[in-house]
């Protein structure tokens, strides 16, 4: 009888500990996820402010360098076993390919789009990447093209047209076709990066470090070969470092931690779609842009298409 009482007491204590652990993990999940969302929400504003005093290539170089350094600190325990072999030659092809796609190509295209468009337009147009990933998953990963993917694609496409024409859909007049093409085109680079990253079975922190390391090297080579060295106001360097830390490095780590602790990863992932809406608030308050109805409507259609595509699965 005493053994049964002890056994029940031990079982109850174990259950209490498990519940506390689940609660702790849930709190940590939301803390990490919402921190990442808040940082990502400031990205569009930081891009615009930094581009006011830095060339696109300079902004990319200093931002990716900052991200590389912080990711090295995060992955320092794996330096000798996994990171150093990357630099010496192991997995070097994959690492260079990842670095070329992101940060080099992705941010070069995206920063150029931000230099041409208002932030409130460039930001939601860039958010078409989940739809592009779905299409690439059909092409490269042989997934079936489901009806919900098609509906999501159509909704997102309508959202892009609404933003690009600033609501004048019937006239079909694009205010800046180059900027729109670059903003949407950046999602192609990101989707290709995501597919290649998915096929690469190395640990996420190591892959992120290697891509930003080679992305920084490629940007430096590009500046030396195709760009000119010019002086700049040092205060804008802080903007580049901020982007490197909180759009790229630290924020990716926070997001990965949130997903690793989450009991429902799909539900946690949907929190990311709060970022573009919060971002509009920063764009309005800090940059002083008068928000167009077309920007808000287009963003709702794009995010609505993404969420419909995901929640219908």
Q: What is the pLDDT of residue 186?
A: 92
Q: What is the pLDDT of residue 65?
A: 95
pLDDT of 223 higher than 90? yes
- The answer to whether 252 touches 208, Cβ cutoff 8 Å, is yes
Q: Where are the domains of the chain?
A: 32-311
- Pseudo-torsion of CA 189, 191, 195, 200, nearest 10°? 60
Q: What is the pLDDT of residue 234?
A: 87
Please, what sign has the CA dihedral across residues 32, 33, 38, 41? positive
Q: What is the pLDDT of residues 119-133, one digit of tens each?
A: 999 998 888 887 887
Q: What is the reported pTM?
A: 0.84
pLDDT of 171 higher than 70? no
pLDDT of 45 higher than 90? yes
pLDDT of 224 higher than 90? yes
Per mean pLDDT, which of 31-40, 79-88, 158-167, 169-178 is the most reliable? 31-40
User: Which runs of consecutive H residues, i.e. helices, occur in the chain?
Assistant: 2-41, 43-51, 56-74, 84-88, 92-99, 106-116, 119-126, 129-140, 147-164, 177-199, 204-226, 235-243, 250-261, 265-269, 275-282, 293-311
Mean pLDDT rounded to a whole number for the chain: 82
Report d(CA 128, CA 123) in Å as an integer: 10
Q: What is the pLDDT of residue 9?
A: 59
pLDDT band at 141 (very low <50, low <70, confident <90, very high): confident
Worst-scoring range by mean pLDDT, 38-47, 240-249, 250-259?
250-259
Q: What is the pLDDT of residue 170?
A: 66
Q: What is the pLDDT of residues 60-96, one digit of tens each?
A: 999 999 999 888 887 666 655 555 666 556 578 888 9
């Amino acid at each position: 009888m005493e053994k049964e009482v002890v056994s029940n007491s031990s079982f109850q204590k174990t259950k209490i500990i498990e519940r506390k652990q689940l609660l702790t993990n849930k709190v940590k999940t939301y803390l990490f996820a919402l921190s990442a969302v808040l940082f990502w929400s400031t990205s569009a504003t930081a891009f615009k402010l930094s581009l006011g005093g830095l060339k696109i290539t300079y902004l990319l170089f200093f931002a990716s360098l900052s991200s590389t350094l912080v990711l090295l600190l995060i992955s320092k325990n794996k330096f000798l076993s996994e990171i150093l072999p990357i630099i010496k030659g192991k997995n070097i092809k994959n690492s260079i390919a990842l670095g070329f796609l992101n940060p080099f190509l992705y941010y070069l295209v995206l920063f150029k789009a931000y230099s041409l468009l208002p932030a409130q337009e460039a930001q939601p147009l860039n958010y078409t990447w989940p739809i592009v990933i779905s299409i690439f998953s059909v092409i490269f990963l042989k997934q079936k093209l489901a009806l919900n993917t098609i509906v999501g694609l159509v909704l997102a496409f309508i959202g892009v047209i609404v933003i690009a024409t600033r609501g004048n859909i019937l006239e079909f007049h694009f205010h800046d076709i180059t900027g729109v093409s670059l903003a949407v085109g950046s999602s192609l680079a990101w989707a290709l990066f995501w597919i290649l990253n998915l096929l690469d079975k190395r640990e996420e922190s190591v892959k992120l470090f290697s891509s930003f390391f080679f992305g920084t090297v490629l940007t430096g080579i590009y500046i030396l070969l195709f760009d000119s060295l010019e002086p700049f106001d040092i205060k804008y360097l802080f903007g580049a470092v901020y982007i490197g830390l909180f759009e790229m490095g630290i924020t990716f780590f926070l997001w990965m931690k949130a997903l690793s602790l989450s009991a429902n990863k799909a539900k946690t992932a949907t929190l990311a779609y709060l970022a573009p809406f919060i971002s509009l608030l920063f764009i309005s308050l800090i940059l002083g842009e008068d928000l167009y109805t077309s920007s808000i409507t287009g963003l709702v259609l794009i995010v609505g298409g993404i969420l419909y595509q995901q929640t219908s699965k």
